[in-house]
């Protein structure tokens, strides 16, 4: 074959191969552009673990049948500058989510969030029980002494009761129970600071600590928001004249595990640091975790001359200014139902 014939054949082959490669590249590029806007398969839960790179995430997406091949995901990650920015966590992938939107979700860290709710009036023990029931929380405090838990928060010498604001807190998988407690602690401190700054300066409380203690008692005494101010007013009146508070929730708290749910007269005579029937003034610590309304009521008592109140049996209370009025109310609302008189019932003052 002449030399120029061989060269022509080679040139033609090169052109054909180049054309094939060009067409392949164009097809590949077109597929890459097309893939960005195609919906991936939905998933209720996809997890990116800490430290996982783009290639690992891409393989996991393929393994879980969310995407069909890993290359488009990896290439688009590089194109958008996300290769070092995919956030660890749990994700919910909704139907019709495109590959680009999926990458954006991973970049933003738009992870599944969970919630935990602490109720007004719960004790610290009840908080810990609620925390232990959330499987998405990393458990670190269960079984630890209170002093160790408070030490992790930086307050070794502080009693935990009453220190954690009752509210709903959001968290993501992998967060720890101590993270939630820290949020609740900080929220209580912030709330207490705000209410202390806006307090009635003529109230009987000398410190934020006393405000928290009284607020916890008010929280346990009534579930009716409209009564909190009056309950506070009664306790302030008693503190002013050095009259024992005689409030059942403190007695119950002092009994601890010995309390079986039925408060008896013998319990009222059983002296503990929290028995306000046998001791004067406020108990040594809060007895529960109060909400903002109870704290506000403790620092802004209603103006009243009442020194007594007794439960009516419907969640509300009858307030009285004199012992004679109170004894009549006790006979009407408590003794007639064969119950131990409750709630600041004083027959000895």
pLDDT beyond 60 at 21: no
CA dihedral 292, 294, 299, 301 (to 10 degrees): 140
Contact indicator for 53, 79 with CB cutoff of 8 Å: no
pLDDT beyond 70 at 335: no
Band (pLDDT 50/70/90 cuts) for residue 12 is: low
Please name the helix (run of DSSP H) or strand (run of DSSP E) that holds residue 318, with its range, or none: strand 317-320
pLDDT score for 38: 84
pLDDT score for 243: 97
Rounded average pLDDT over 4-23: 57
pLDDT score for 333: 85
pLDDT score for 19: 53
1-5, 143-147, 221-225, 288-292 — which is least confidently predicted?
Answer: 1-5
Q: Which residues pair with 90 in a beta bridge?
A: 47
- The larger pLDDT score, comparing residue 159 to residue 17, is at 159
19-23, 229-233, 262-266, 281-285 — which is least confidently predicted?
Answer: 19-23
pLDDT score for 121: 96
Interaxial angle between packed helices 54-63 and 71-79, expressed in degrees from 0 to 180 and rounded to the nearest 10:
150
pLDDT beyond 50 at 47: yes
130-134, 277-281, 310-314 — which is least confidently predicted?
Answer: 310-314
Distance CA 155, CA 161 (A): 13
Distance CA 280, CA 114 (A): 44
- Sign of the CA dihedral 309, 198, 211, 217? positive
Long-range pairs, 262-268, Cβ under 8 A, ≥24: 263/340, 263/342, 264/340, 265/340, 268/340
pLDDT beyond 50 at 176: yes
**Region at 312 (left for phi over 0; alpha for psi -120 to 50; beta for the rest):** alpha
pLDDT score for 234: 97
- The larger pLDDT score, comparing residue 44 to residue 14, is at 44
Closest-CA residue to 166 (of 221, 217, 210, 116) = 116
pLDDT score for 26: 45
Both tokens of residue 89? Answer: 């966590």
Band (pLDDT 50/70/90 cuts) for residue 349 is: very low
pLDDT score for 10: 64
For the chain, what are the domain ranges?
29-108, 113-185, 198-337
Q: pLDDT tens for residues 80-95?
A: 888 777 899 999 999 9
Q: How far is CA 178 from CA 79, 148, 154, in A?
A: 39, 11, 12
Q: What is the residue-averaged pLDDT of the chain?
A: 88
- Sign of the CA dihedral 331, 334, 338, 342? negative
Distance CA 252, CA 267 (A): 8
- Longest CA pairwise span in the chain (Å): 132
Rounded average pLDDT over 322-337: 84
State the Rg of the chain over Cα.
Answer: 33
Q: How far is CA 240 from CA 21, 58, 276, in A?
A: 94, 70, 15
pLDDT score for 18: 56
pLDDT score for 184: 98
Residue in the block written with tokens 């409209």:
226
Instruction: Tell me yes or no: is domain 29-108 CATH 3.30.1490.480.
Output: yes
Band (pLDDT 50/70/90 cuts) for residue 34 is: low
pLDDT score for 8: 58
Q: Which residues contact 244 (CB under 8 A, 6 or more apart)?
A: 238, 276, 277, 278, 279, 280, 346, 349
pLDDT score for 37: 77
Q: pLDDT tens for residues 241-297?
A: 999 999 999 999 999 988 888 888 899 999 999 999 999 999 999 999 999 999 999
> Strand 89-93 relative to strand 308-311: parallel, antiparallel, unpaired?
unpaired
Band (pLDDT 50/70/90 cuts) for residue 7 is: low
> Strand 113-117 relative to strand 89-93: parallel, antiparallel, unpaired?
unpaired
Instruction: Give the angle 293-294-295 at the CA atoms, nearest 5°.
Output: 90
Both tokens of residue 342? Answer: 């409750």
Q: Which residues contact 335 (CB under 8 A, 6 or more apart)?
A: 341
Distance CA 136, CA 130 (A): 12
Q: pLDDT tens for residues 105-130?
A: 999 999 999 999 999 999 999 999 99
Both tokens of residue 142? Answer: 């269960």
Q: What percent of the chain has pLDDT over 70?
A: 85
pLDDT beyond 80 at 4: no
């Amino acid at each position: 074959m002449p030399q120029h014939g061989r060269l022509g054949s080679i040139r033609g082959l090169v052109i054909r191969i180049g054309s094939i490669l060009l067409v392949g590249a164009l097809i590949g590029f077109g597929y890459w552009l097309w893939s960005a806007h195609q919906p991936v398969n939905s998933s209720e839960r996809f997890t990116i673990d800490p430290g996982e790179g783009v290639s690992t995430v891409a393989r996991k997406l393929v393994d879980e049948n969310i995407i069909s091949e890993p290359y488009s995901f990896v290439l688009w990650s590089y194109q958008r500058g996300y290769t070092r920015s995919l956030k660890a966590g749990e994700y919910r992938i909704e139907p019709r989510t495109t590959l680009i939107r999926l990458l954006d979700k991973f970049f933003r860290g738009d992870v599944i969030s969970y919630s935990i709710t602490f109720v007004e009036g719960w004790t610290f023990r009840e908080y810990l029980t609620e925390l232990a029931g959330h499987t998405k929380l990393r458990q670190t405090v269960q079984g630890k002494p209170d002093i160790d838990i408070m030490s992790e928060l930086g307050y070794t010498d502080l009693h935990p009761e009453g220190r954690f604001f009752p509210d709903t807190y959001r968290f993501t998988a992998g967060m720890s129970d101590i993270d939630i407690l820290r949020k609740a602690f900080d929220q209580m401190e912030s709330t207490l600071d705000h209410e202390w700054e806006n307090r009635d300066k003529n109230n009987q409380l000398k410190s934020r600590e006393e405000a928290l203690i009284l607020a916890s008692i008010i929280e346990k005494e009534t579930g009716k928001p409209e009564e909190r101010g009056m309950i506070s007013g009664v306790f302030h009146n008693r503190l002013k004249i050095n009259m024992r508070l005689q409030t059942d929730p403190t007695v119950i708290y002092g009994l601890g595990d010995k309390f079986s749910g039925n408060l008896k007269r013998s319990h009222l005579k059983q002296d503990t640091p929290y028995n306000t029937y046998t001791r004067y003034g406020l108990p040594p610590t809060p007895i529960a975790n109060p909400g903002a309304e109870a704290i506000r009521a403790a620092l802004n008592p209603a103006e009243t001359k009442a020194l007594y109140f007794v439960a009516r049996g419907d969640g509300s209370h009858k307030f009285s200014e004199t012992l004679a009025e109170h004894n009549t109310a006790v006979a009407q609302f408590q003794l007639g139902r064969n119950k131990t008189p409750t709630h600041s019932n004083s027959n000895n003052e």
